[in-house]
Structure 1
Amino acid sequence: MATRWGIAGSGRICSDFVTAIKALAHDHRLVAVAARDLTDAKEFARKHGVERAYGSYQDLTTDPEIEVVYVGLINPQHYPVASMMVMAGKNVLCEKPLCLNVNQTTGLISLAKKNEVFLMEGVWTRFFPVYEELRKRIKSGEIGDVVQVLSSKGHPVEDEPRITQRSLGGGSTLDLGVYDVQFASWVMEAEKPIQIQAGGHLNYDCVDETTSTILVYSKGRVATLSSSIRCLLPNESIVVGTKGTIKVRVSAAFPEALESPSGKFVSLIPDYGRQFNYPNAQGLMYEASEVRRCLLAGERESPKMPLKESLLLAEIMEQITTQMGVRYDVEY
C-alpha cells in the first residue's frame, strides 16, 4: 500500500517535494494539500494531481486518510504546524531546520514521543547514497584519523525575504549553514562539540548574512564551517585525516560524488525529466523513501536522522546565532 501524504504548504519546496515523489508513484499517494488560502491550495492540487485541497492546516489533522504530513513552510511556522499534526496523531516530516530554537525543538520531540508518532527533520542530504559511501570510507581507515572538517555553503540570495528577514526566520545559518553543521555532525558521529566559536556579519534586519564557525571536538578534531547569503562559496565539504582527504563534490546540500585515496564514487540523481524550483530537487525522493521505510518498519524516528541529533543541531545553531547577536521573535 502506498504511503498516504498530506502536504502543509503550497510554496516552491512543497512543489519540488511532490514532484520528486511522483517518480515513486507506486509507493506514495498525494491525499491532500493545505494552505492558508484555499485558492492557492486548489491551484497546487490541480497542478500536481493532489486529491483534495484545504484552506487551513487544521483540516489536515482531521483527514483520516492522511498517514504522514510534509511540513514545507517558512521557519517560524515549523513548530506550530508540526506540533498541531503530531498532537492529532499524524506522522511528520518537517523541513530543516526542525524548529527556530532549542526550546521548540525539545518541545516538538517530546510531543512526538508522547503521542507515539514518527517525526523526522528533513535534512535531505543525509539520505543521498554519497553519505553512506562517505561513512564507509572513513570507517575503513583509508584517510586515517579524522583531524579536520572543512565545509561551506553560500549563494547570493539577498533577494529572498524568507532568508533575509528576521520575522520569517531568516539568516545564513538556518537556511544554508545547517548543511555544514549537519555534515560535521555526520563525520563526528553526532558527538557534541566541546567548544563553539562563531563570528561574522549581520544584515539590515539583524540576521546573519556571512558566518564563520569553528567547532572543537575531542581527540584533536576541528570543524571549520562557512555560510553566506551574499556570495557564492566553494560549496564543498572536505574531511581531512592523518593519511588522506575525502572531498564531497558538487555541493554539501545535494552531493552526487566524492573522491578519496581509494578513488571516485559517483551516484547521480535520477533525471525523470521533471522541472524543479531548486537544483537537484529530485533528490528529495531519497528522504521520502526513508520516511516510508521507517513507517513500514514501525520506527518512530530515522536512524539516519535521529531526533537526538536534530536536537544537537539545534543546540549548535542556536549557539552560532546567539554569538552572532541574532534574536528571533518567538514566545517559546
Structure 2
Amino acid sequence: MTLRWGIVTAGKICHDFVNAFNSYPDKGNQIIFGIAARDKNKAEEFAAIHHIEKVFDSYEDMAKSKDIDVAYIGSLNIYHYDLAKLFLNNGKHVLCEKPLCFNSDEVESLTELARTKNLFLMEGIWSRFSPAYYDLEQIIASGVIGDVRFLEANFGIFTEDKRITTRNYGGSAVLDIGVYVLQLAQFVFKDSPKRVIAVGKRNHDEVDVSETIVLEYDDDRRAVLNTNTQLELVNQAVVYGTKGHITLQPPFHFPNKMILQDGKVKEYTLHTSALPYHYENSAGLVYEAIEVEKCIRQGLTESPRMSHSESRLLALLEDCVRRDLNVSINSKNRHYKKILIL
C-alpha cells in the first residue's frame, strides 16, 4: 500500500523537502499527494511547481482526509505543537520540522499523545540520517579514536529573518540552529549532561541571537557548542578521542566530507534535482522521509535513531539554554493572532 504524504504549509523548507523527495529515485512506495497552506493561492502555486495532485482548503480538511497517511509540518516553530496535535488527533502520522515544539512541556505532551494514539511521530533532525553520521557512529563504536572526551561544534549564520529574530514568530538561535549542535552532542556521547552552562546575547525583542553552550558529562567529557545568527562561523564539528579525532566539515549538520583519524577525506554525494534548493544540502531531507516510511511499515511509533526520548532531552537542553539567557520559554506568551502561518 502506498504511503501518502500531506505537506503542511508552502514555505521554503517544505519546498526543499518536496524537491528532495520527488527527485530521489529510490524512496520506496510513498508519494506526496496533497498540500495545505493558510493562503490557498500559495498552496496552488506550490502544487503546480511540484506536481502535487490535491490542494486542500484548510489544515483541518487535510487532517480529516482519508487520502493522507502522514503529514510533514514545516510551519513556524510556534505552530508545531498545535498542528502536530491536529493531525495526530485525526489519525495521521507526523514528521515535524525541528524544533518539535516550543518547549519541553509541549514535547512531553505531544509524544504522549502519539503514544496513546499509536501513531508515528518524529522530530525532523535530518542530520541523524546523513551517511556521514552513520559512518561517524561506527567509527566511534569501533574504538579507533579511543574514548571520546571532547566535542566542539559551531553553527553561525548572518540573518535578519523574522522567523529567527522575532519573539512573536517564535524566533530563537538555539531553536533554529542550536538544535543541530545540541543533537550532535547527544549523538556523540549517548548520554545526558550533568551540567549545562550557557552565555550569550538577546536582541531588542528578547530573543536569543547567539550563545556559547558548555555541556559537562560524567568522566570529564565535555562539549563546547557555539551558535550565532549575527556572525558567520566555520560550521564544522570535531570529535576528539584519546587516540585521534574526526572532523565533520561544513556544513557539519549534513556534511559532504568527513576527515578521518588518519587524515584521509571521505566524501558523500547527494542526488541532483532540476529545481534549486533554499538551504544547503537539502537533498538530504529525503533520508528522513525514507526513515519515516520504514518505521511506519514496521509498525513503529518512533524512530530508534531519533526517538521521543531524544526529542524530550533535546527540548530540555533548549529550555536550559534559554533560561540561562533569561529568555522566556513559556508558549503562553505568544501572540497567535498577529502571525500568519507560512
Relative to the length of structure 2, the TM-score reads 0.94
- CA distances 1:134-168 after superposition (whole Å, capped 9, x unpaired): 011111111111110000111001x2000000111
Q: For residues 289 and 208 of structure 1, what CA distance do their matches in structure 2 show?
A: 33
* Correspondence for 2:10: 10
Tell me if 1:285 matches 2:298: no
What is the number of equivalent residue pairs in this alignment? 330
Q: For residues 164 and 329 of structure 1, what CA distance do their matches in structure 2 show?
A: 17
Is the contact made by 2:24 and 2:271 (CA closer than 8 Å) also made in structure 1?
Answer: no
Q: For residues 42 and 270 of structure 1, what CA distance do their matches in structure 2 show?
A: 27
Counterpart secondary structure, 2:331: coil
Q: For residues 212 and 58 of structure 2, what CA distance do their matches in structure 1 show?
A: 39
Of 115, 118, 122, 2:117 maps to 115
* Correspondence for 1:308: 309
* Correspondence for 2:103: 101
Q: For residues 273 and 49 of structure 1, what CA distance do their matches in structure 2 show?
A: 13
* TM superposition shift of 1:172: 0.9
Gaps of 5+ in 2: 334-342
Is the contact made by 1:42 and 1:54 (CA closer than 8 Å) also made in structure 2?
Answer: no
How do 1:180-329 and structure 2 match up within 5 A?
Answer: 180-189=181-190, 191-262=191-262, 263-328=264-329
Q: For residues 132 and 108 of structure 2, what CA distance do their matches in structure 1 show?
A: 30
Q: For residues 143 and 249 of structure 1, what CA distance do their matches in structure 2 show?
A: 17
State the percentage of identical aligned residues.
37
Is the contact made by 2:234 and 2:250 (CA closer than 8 Å) also made in structure 1?
Answer: no
How do 1:34-183 and structure 2 match up within 5 A?
Answer: 34-157=36-159, 159-183=160-184
Is the contact made by 2:23 and 2:272 (CA closer than 8 Å) also made in structure 1?
Answer: no
Q: For residues 255 and 304 of structure 1, what CA distance do their matches in structure 2 show?
A: 18
Gaps of 5+ in 1: none
Counterpart secondary structure, 1:274: coil
What CA RMSD, in Å, does the superposition of the two structures yield over aligned residues?
Answer: 1.3
Q: For residues 125 and 89 of structure 1, what CA distance do their matches in structure 2 show?
A: 27
Is the contact made by 1:30 and 1:49 (CA closer than 8 Å) also made in structure 2?
Answer: no
Q: For residues 329 and 312 of structure 1, what CA distance do their matches in structure 2 show?
A: 17
* TM superposition shift of 1:329: 5.3
Is the contact made by 2:63 and 2:87 (CA closer than 8 Å) also made in structure 1?
Answer: yes
Q: For residues 219 and 245 of structure 1, what CA distance do their matches in structure 2 show?
A: 18
Relative to the length of structure 1, the TM-score reads 0.96
- CA distances 1:246-272 after superposition (whole Å, capped 9, x unpaired): 100121222122112243322121223
Q: For residues 234 and 45 of structure 1, what CA distance do their matches in structure 2 show?
A: 36
- CA distances 1:84-126 after superposition (whole Å, capped 9, x unpaired): 1111110000000000001100000000001000000001111
Moved over 3 A (4+): 24-27
Is the contact made by 2:120 and 2:302 (CA closer than 8 Å) also made in structure 1?
Answer: yes
Letter in 2 for 1:293: K
Q: For residues 314 and 67 of structure 2, what CA distance do their matches in structure 1 show?
A: 33
* Correspondence for 2:338: none
* TM superposition shift of 1:37: 1.7
